Amino acid sequence: MGFNDVLKKSFIQVTADSMNRGDVLLSIGVACLIAVYIFTIYRVMTRNSFYNKNFNISLVALAIITTAIILSIQSSVVISLGMVGALSIVRFRTAIKEPMDLVFLFWSISIGIICGAGLFEIAIATSLFLTAIILFLDKIPMAKTSMMLVVDSDNIEAEDDIMEVVRKYSPNVRVKSRNMSAEFLNMVVEVRIKEEAQCIREVNALKGINNVSLISQDGEVTF
């Protein structure tokens, strides 16, 4: 057999028949179990926020599909090259709004790759370690999230009085917006207040105040 024959055989011959079917089923089974584990962790992590069940189901399917792809690639170089070409035209157009969703997405793909390679110990250890880190960091207390105090007044000289009352309840104050006309004043102030109702009542009792609103936000703490 010449060099060309050996090269041709190595690139064209499909060795899927030589793969142990038990190993294939084991890889897919382990990937499925870990994917269900990821499904559970994602549900627990999003219990207090918006939960997308379809996205969570896709994490399980993605891990299994990735495992099957890795197993197929191992059977032949031709299949691997064809797979690269096929996947290169795929575009993931769904916007990932939450950073943690991206983490779980990459976690699911990684588990599929690792299980497809037969490295089950690494897949299990990585999943357990990552779960511990995520839950630990999630339990670390953080500062109270700031809120937006919106004040409407027909007294354009009321800003000093408003800020004086607000500073009694919030040592850190930041004016985010100030709109003023000849007879109208609108202010948006970023505050961090514990006694919310009492602060609103005092601001509303000031002369010329028409409306007071305290709005929560989901943004990061800025002070």
| Number of other residues whose CB lies within 10 A of the CB of residue 28 | 18
The closest of 76, 69, 111 to 90, measured between CA atoms, is 69
Average pLDDT over residues 44-53: 76
Residue type, 81: L
Residues with Cβ within 8 Å of 56's Cβ and at least 6 positions away in sequence, in order, are 39, 42, 43
Q: What is the CA radius of gyration of the chain?
A: 29
Where is average pLDDT lowest: 2-6, 68-72, 214-218? 2-6
> pLDDT grade, residue 214 (50/70/90)?
confident
Q: What is the pLDDT of residue 128?
A: 93
> Between residues 41 and 197, which one has the greater pLDDT?
41
Percent of the chain with pLDDT over 70: 75
Average per-residue pLDDT in the chain? 78
> Between residues 223 and 113, which one has the greater pLDDT?
113
Q: How does strand 174-180 pair with strand 209-216?
A: unpaired
Q: What is the pLDDT of residue 76?
A: 61
The CA dihedral of 56, 62, 67, 73, to the nearest 10 degrees, is -170
> pLDDT grade, residue 182 (50/70/90)?
confident
Q: Is the pLDDT of residue 90 over 90?
A: no
Measured CA to CA, the distance from residue 54 to residue 61 in angstroms comes to 11
pTM of the model: 0.62
Average pLDDT over residues 159-172: 82
User: What domains, with CATH codes, occur in the chain?
Assistant: 3-139 (no CATH), 147-216 (3.30.70.1710)
> Between residues 216 and 222, which one has the greater pLDDT?
216
| pLDDT (tens digit per residue) in 11-44 | 555 444 556 778 888 888 999 999 999 999 998 8
Q: Is the pLDDT of residue 100 over 70?
A: yes
Q: What is the pLDDT of residue 223?
A: 44
Average pLDDT over residues 139-159: 78
Q: What is the pLDDT of residue 132?
A: 92
